[in-house]
Amino acid sequence: MKTDSAQDVFNRVINHLVSQGQKSVSVDGLCLYRSPSGASCAVGCLISEDDYSPSMEGADVGFVVREYKSLQWLRKFEDLLDDLQDLHDLDCNWDNQGLSSGGRKQIQLIADHHRLTNPLS
């Protein structure tokens, strides 16, 4: 899904996180771009199977979008992706039902900050 639109990236990530209903984590609880269970994080859902490498794990968004040539189309969204990755990574944004009410509020704050429309509104 390569796009020139921050709104498209935002919609895709938010819809992914809501439908997945859980964080993408290792057995030790560390956030992963792709988890053994098949879940993917806010940025991981934008990375195709062909472009994904286990060597990405542990690297921040900025490094991944700069160092992997096939992901350079994401560079222009780096600030947005940082915010979306924080949404995914912070435990306070999740509960046993998926994204918590605090996480849903965070989505609106991210939308407002980046002048985007919240796809959940």
Domain ranges of the chain: 6-113
Residue type, 78: E
Sign of CA dihedral 91, 94, 95, 96: negative
DSSP type of residue 41: -
CA geometry: angle 6, 10, 13, nearest 5 deg = 140
Quick one: what percent of the chain has pLDDT higher than 70?
A: 99
**Could you tell me the two tokens for 87?**
């949404």
pLDDT at 1 over 70: no
Note the pLDDT tens digit of each residue in 61-95: 999 999 999 999 999 999 999 999 999 999 999 99
- Taking alpha carbons only, the member of 56, 58, 46, 55 closest to residue 17 is 46
Can you tell me the distance from the alpha carbon of 72 to that of 46, in angstroms, rounded to the nearest whole number?
12
